[in-house]
A and B are shown apart, each in its own frame.
Chain A
Amino acid sequence: MNEAPLISGPYTHARSSINRTMGLVMLALLPATLFSLYLFGWPAIFLFITTLIAAMVAEAISLRISGRPSRPFLLDGSALLTGWLLAMTLPPWAPWWIGVVGALLAIIVGKQIFGGIGQNLFNPAMVARVALLISFPLEMTLFNPPIPLFSAQAPGFLDSLSITFGNSDHLDAISSATALGHYKTELSRGLSITDITGGTDTLWQLTTGTAAGSMGETSALLLLLGGLFLLYKRVITWHIPLAMLGTLALCAGIFHLIDPDTYLGPLTHLMSGAAILGAFFIATDLVTSPTSIRGQLIFGAGCGLLVYVIRTFAGYPEGVAFAVMLMNACTPLIDHYFKPRIYGRDSKGEPLSYAEKGGES
């Protein structure tokens, strides 16, 4: 049918394309990314670039094997964005092969095996992150505090090369836990939140990103800015982010009110970990989220609830990746049951009838 001459309109088009959509998302990620790269220095830059290149190579190879034209698909920006998002969720000083293995998992297992762009059930970057976290728990949980580029303690270019590509125990020496990880450990030791708070990052540090964590877990403020930009550009709608963050804050608020010593407050939940990144950039992934407004609200609320449950009651300190993937699995079901109401029909799909007609039909 594609070869047939086009005889149906419209013969004009909004200036939209996949490249534009992906490009806008990357533009929205740029401020937070640049700031994080600055904070974590050369090793982070090396890992970031390695991951992006690996994602593109994996995409190119997959396209070749599946016999699709490389150019339009490589240039659509989706593989680059997947690599980018994945890099944002890795510990910034992780070795190069974490980035490469992650990119291969994301592109090949997460996306191309399902049939390429638009066909995947799960968010590719999250597939990779979860697989890495389970397979390489040590490398995936070794975080370092931010040591800005060109600062006194920052590793030089060559040292950084050995951190990313060589065998360096540099990280072990300075490793520190993420805020959520720290709370998790200390709470499990029976301490109360007020006892712990002294030894960890303040809310302000979390918000501005000057705390330990993966690139996407820091600088919540810049990520929020990027998210608002996406809303403004109408790449995403407010439904998923608001439902997700709202539900997370609501759960946190309720439990915090009940027992402030055991449960973190809503603001800490929102500003730490990958909540903002997840709400604006991961859960809103076009391919793997529901299409209707109601579906998106349910999806977002589900993500928020699961994030809270995993963070608070499960073994992992952070649960955005798991939460989004679990909800991804529900997307087809949500799409099936929550469709918009059709014009002129009631919610069951029957034609509207007006009482004024007096029952005649």
Chain B
Amino acid sequence: MGAPTLTKLFKIRGGVHPDDCKLLSADQPIETLPMPELLHIPLQQHIGAAAVPMVRRGEIVKKGQLLARSQGAISAPVHAPTSGRIMGVGGYPAHHASGLSVRTITLKPDGKDEWRDNTPPVKDPFTLSPEEISKRVAEAGIVGMGGATFPSAVKLNLRKRYALHTLVLNGAECEPYLTCDDRLMREQPSEILDGVALMARALGVEQVLFAIESNKPEAQAAIAEATQAHPNITMVGLPTRYPMGSEKHLVQTLTGKETPARGLTADIGIVVHNVATALAVHEALHHGRPLISRVVTVSGNAINQPRNLRVPLGTPLENLIEHCGGYKQEPARLISGGPMMGQPLPSTRVPVVKGSNGLLALTQDEIQAGHEMPCIRCASCVQACPCGLVPLEMAANIRAGSLDNSVNLGLLDCIACGSCAYVCPSHIPLVQYFNYAKGELASRQRMQHKQGETKRLAEARSQRMEAIKKAKREAMMKRKKEMEAKKKREAEATAAAEAQA
């Protein structure tokens, strides 16, 4: 199918309008955070298999040097954010609500910030073949930087399996508070568009739509101006509505087409990439720089001076908070990401990773926590759900333990955007119910799989044992017979000898 021409925007279902709180940090230019004392670089900062460490304790590394290589089809390598000495490879609390320990490389910066001998970048990366571009993107450890952290090269390779026609740049940044993409678009529009053009080349698509929500007029203007150098890239202003940045809903807004359930946007010929990812692609292909830092919005009313910081990956969050003047008041919640879909953080010791777009210290007044009351069936959640689900019924089924029913009602089509829980007058933690059910179903499935495997293996073992026994028995019988025959022969021989004698 051909690329549709863009004439108008299409309406999506549901959605909410939370207070975007972006003014706290939107006017703060991106500032580079000073190098911390120690960097803790986890081996798993992406969706897929963890990277395999390539360095040992005590080793001296240069900035940009490969620390851990990717393994398997879906994975991403990890590079040194600065030069220094490897202090060890071991467990360190993860950037995750659980705070569980994950394998992490600890690097002590030497203060020289000395680059490795960068592979001489090709003068013009546009002469590279699509395969070569995605290979370099993979080698640079680039993952989806909007928070999903899916390895970008895998998405660039979708051209092999799908008939693609459009690349959509997701500059919606619909989560409240976050301004890191906004700042990047304002400050580095031409670098971003260069990365976009490279991605379009890798995907083999003609048309690029650069979508930005209307609450970022400066970013819209900057990108629109920069697109003058790129005739195939069009800036599209989006209405401000959460969850506009959900890629399936973004694509629907732009094209009017829904992505089939359980499918990818590639099913309708479209691939979506994040703004910061495009910049990382530009850095990797033009300058040979792997993904070793990212912009993080530090905000919330509990933070003294909200800012946008460019931070080396692996920097402990406490350094960011300290750099922003510490807390104004003790935060009621510390969140990684935006307030709608972000995760609570177990401690400020955890490091910044590739997907960390925000660090929010929220006050009691901001989180508006309420006492949970019974559902009054007001259907606010039904109106708010962008996926056409009936959250109140799904939650009631989960509460009653009928997880299968909740699946029939569409649990697995839920994108966990939190619009339902945001509007619920009874303050029912609907997303919590859904996540619980999804987790429980996954663990049941694993359990079932495990049981099946155990049964299969046990049966195989008993069959094997049986066969061994049988073989032994047969061997015994054979030997017995042989022995008997031998004895008989010997007896006969003796008898014959005696007879001769």
Name A's B-contacting residues (CB within 8 A). Answer: 1-2, 6-18, 20-21, 72, 76, 78, 116-119, 237, 286-292, 335, 339-345, 349, 351-354, 356-357
Would A291 and B374 be within 8 Å (CB), given that A12-B18, A344-B258, A353-B260 are in contact? no
CB within 8 Å of A: which of B88-102? 97
Indicate whether B212 reaches chain A with its CB closer than 8 angstroms: no
Tell me which residues across on chain B come within 8 A of A343, comparing CB atoms.
13, 248-249, 252, 258, 261, 386-388, 413
Tell whether, in the assembled complex, residue B368 and residue A12 are in contact, meaning their CB atoms are under 8 Å apart.
yes
Indicate whether B377 reaches chain A with its CB closer than 8 angstroms: yes
Tell me which residues across on chain B come within 8 A of A11, comparing CB atoms.
333, 335, 339-340, 342, 344, 360, 362, 366-367
Tell whether, in the assembled complex, residue A286 and residue B379 are in contact, meaning their CB atoms are under 8 Å apart.
yes
Name B's A-contacting residues (CB within 8 A). Answer: 1, 13, 16, 18-19, 97, 176, 248-249, 252, 257-263, 267-268, 333, 335, 339-344, 360, 362, 366-380, 382-383, 385-390, 392-393, 399, 409-410, 413, 416, 418, 421-427, 429, 431-436
Top 10 A-B residue pairs of the complex, sorted by shortest distance between their CB atoms: A13-B368, A344-B261, A10-B418, A351-B261, A291-B379, A8-B432, A286-B378, A356-B1, A340-B388, A12-B339
Tell whether, in the assembled complex, residue B371 and residue A72 are in contact, meaning their CB atoms are under 8 Å apart.
yes
- B69 shortest CB reach to chain A, Å: 32
Tell me which residues across on chain B come within 8 A of A342, comparing CB atoms.
261, 387-389, 410, 413
Q: Determine the distance from Cα of A14 to Cα of B388 in the docked complex, in whole angstroms.
A: 20
- B372 shortest CB reach to chain A, Å: 6
How many residue-residue contacts, CB under 8 A, span A and B? 178
Tell whether, in the assembled complex, residue B339 and residue A344 are in contact, meaning their CB atoms are under 8 Å apart.
no
Tell me which residues across on chain B come within 8 A of A18, comparing CB atoms.
373, 376, 425-426
Q: Determine the distance from Cα of A359 to Cα of B387 in the docked complex, in whole angstroms.
A: 25
Q: Determine the distance from Cα of A12 to Cα of B344 in the docked complex, in whole angstroms.
A: 12
A288 closest partner in B (C-beta): B377
Q: Determine the distance from Cα of A52 to Cα of B257 in the docked complex, in whole angstroms.
A: 52
Tell whether, in the assembled complex, residue A21 and residue B378 are in contact, meaning their CB atoms are under 8 Å apart.
yes
Q: Determine the distance from Cα of A136 to Cα of B380 in the docked complex, in whole angstroms.
A: 38
Tell me which residues across on chain A come within 8 A of B382, comparing CB atoms.
291-292, 340
Contacts A1-B436, A351-B260 known; 11 new A-B pairs at CB < 8 A = A8-B416, A11-B339, A11-B362, A14-B18, A117-B373, A291-B382, A291-B392, A343-B261, A343-B388, A344-B258, A344-B259
Would A20 and B340 be within 8 Å (CB), given that A13-B367, A119-B374, A287-B377 are in contact? no
Tell whether, in the assembled complex, residue A339 and residue B390 are in contact, meaning their CB atoms are under 8 Å apart.
yes
B377 closest partner in A (C-beta): A287
Tell whether, in the assembled complex, residue B340 and residue A14 are in contact, meaning their CB atoms are under 8 Å apart.
no
Q: Determine the distance from Cα of A18 to Cα of B428 in the docked complex, in whole angstroms.
A: 11
- B358 shortest CB reach to chain A, Å: 11
Tell me which residues across on chain B come within 8 A of A21, comparing CB atoms.
376, 378, 425
Tell me which residues across on chain B come within 8 A of A351, comparing CB atoms.
260-263
- Among A118, A237, A356, point to the contact of B377 (Cβ < 8 A): A118
Tell whether, in the assembled complex, residue B1 and residue A2 are in contact, meaning their CB atoms are under 8 Å apart.
no
Q: Determine the distance from Cα of A251 to Cα of B370 in the docked complex, in whole angstroms.
A: 46
- Among B1, B371, B379, B423, point to the contact of A16 (Cβ < 8 A): B423
Tell me which residues across on chain B come within 8 A of A237, comparing CB atoms.
383
B413 closest partner in A (C-beta): A342
Tell me which residues across on chain A come within 8 A of B385, comparing CB atoms.
340
- Among A8, A16, A20, A345, point to the contact of B431 (Cβ < 8 A): A8
Q: Determine the distance from Cα of A346 to Cα of B392 in the docked complex, in whole angstroms.
A: 21
B387 closest partner in A (C-beta): A343
Q: Determine the distance from Cα of A209 to Cα of B146 in the docked complex, in whole angstroms.
A: 59
Tell me which residues across on chain B come within 8 A of A17, comparing CB atoms.
370, 373, 425-427
Tell whether, in the assembled complex, residue B367 and residue A340 are in contact, meaning their CB atoms are under 8 Å apart.
no
Q: Determine the distance from Cα of A341 to Cα of B388 in the docked complex, in whole angstroms.
A: 6
- A298 shortest CB reach to chain B, Å: 14
Tell me which residues across on chain A come within 8 A of B388, comparing CB atoms.
340-343, 345
- B282 shortest CB reach to chain A, Å: 32
Would A10 and B424 be within 8 Å (CB), given that A18-B373, A72-B371 are in contact? no
Most buried by A among B261, B375, B385: B261
Would A10 and B340 be within 8 Å (CB), given that A291-B392, A345-B413 are in contact? yes
Q: Determine the distance from Cα of A292 to Cα of B381 in the docked complex, in whole angstroms.
A: 10
B374 closest partner in A (C-beta): A118
Tell whether, in the assembled complex, residue A344 and residue B260 are in contact, meaning their CB atoms are under 8 Å apart.
yes
Tell me which residues across on chain A come within 8 A of B16, comparing CB atoms.
14
Most buried by B among A10, A287, A290: A10
- Among B97, B339, B362, point to the contact of A7 (Cβ < 8 A): B97
Tell me which residues across on chain B come within 8 A of A7, comparing CB atoms.
97, 343-344, 432, 435
B176 closest partner in A (C-beta): A12
Tell me which residues across on chain A come within 8 A of B344, comparing CB atoms.
6-7, 11
Q: Determine the distance from Cα of A174 to Cα of B368 in the docked complex, in whole angstroms.
A: 55
Tell whether, in the assembled complex, residue A8 and residue B425 are in contact, meaning their CB atoms are under 8 Å apart.
no
Tell me which residues across on chain B come within 8 A of A78, comparing CB atoms.
376
B383 closest partner in A (C-beta): A237
Tell whether, in the assembled complex, residue B340 and residue A344 are in contact, meaning their CB atoms are under 8 Å apart.
no
- A231 shortest CB reach to chain B, Å: 13
B98 closest partner in A (C-beta): A7
- A28 shortest CB reach to chain B, Å: 15
Q: Determine the distance from Cα of A353 to Cα of B261 in the docked complex, in whole angstroms.
A: 9
B392 closest partner in A (C-beta): A291
Q: Determine the distance from Cα of A19 to Cα of B25 in the docked complex, in whole angstroms.
A: 34
- A87 shortest CB reach to chain B, Å: 21
Tell me which residues across on chain B come within 8 A of A20, comparing CB atoms.
425
Would A352 and B260 be within 8 Å (CB), given that A9-B339, A14-B16 are in contact? yes
Tell whether, in the assembled complex, residue B431 and residue A9 are in contact, meaning their CB atoms are under 8 Å apart.
yes
Question: Can you give 25 A-B contacts (C-beta < 8 A)?
Answer: A1-B399, A8-B421, A8-B432, A8-B434, A10-B418, A10-B421, A11-B335, A11-B339, A11-B362, A11-B367, A12-B18, A12-B339, A12-B362, A12-B422, A17-B426, A18-B425, A116-B374, A118-B375, A291-B377, A343-B261, A343-B387, A344-B248, A344-B259, A344-B263, A354-B257
Q: Determine the distance from Cα of A352 to Cα of B261 in the docked complex, in whole angstroms.
A: 7
- B19 shortest CB reach to chain A, Å: 8
Tell me which residues across on chain B come within 8 A of A344, comparing CB atoms.
248, 258-263, 387, 413
Q: Determine the distance from Cα of A182 to Cα of B434 in the docked complex, in whole angstroms.
A: 56
Tell me which residues across on chain A come within 8 A of B249, comparing CB atoms.
343
Would A8 and B435 be within 8 Å (CB), given that A118-B376, A340-B390, A343-B388 are in contact? yes
Tell whether, in the assembled complex, residue A9 and residue B342 are in contact, meaning their CB atoms are under 8 Å apart.
yes
- Among B261, B368, B386, point to the contact of A345 (Cβ < 8 A): B261
Most buried by A among B252, B376, B392, B435: B376
B258 closest partner in A (C-beta): A344
Q: Determine the distance from Cα of A2 to Cα of B418 in the docked complex, in whole angstroms.
A: 18
- B450 shortest CB reach to chain A, Å: 25
Q: Determine the distance from Cα of A12 to Cα of B263 in the docked complex, in whole angstroms.
A: 30
Would A2 and B260 be within 8 Å (CB), given that A13-B422, A340-B388, A344-B248 are in contact? no
Tell whether, in the assembled complex, residue B413 and residue A14 are in contact, meaning their CB atoms are under 8 Å apart.
no
Tell whether, in the assembled complex, residue B339 and residue A354 are in contact, meaning their CB atoms are under 8 Å apart.
no
Q: Determine the distance from Cα of A1 to Cα of B435 in the docked complex, in whole angstroms.
A: 12
Tell me which residues across on chain A come within 8 A of B339, comparing CB atoms.
9-12
Tell whether, in the assembled complex, residue A16 and residue B367 are in contact, meaning their CB atoms are under 8 Å apart.
no
A336 closest partner in B (C-beta): B393
Tell me which residues across on chain B come within 8 A of A72, comparing CB atoms.
371, 373
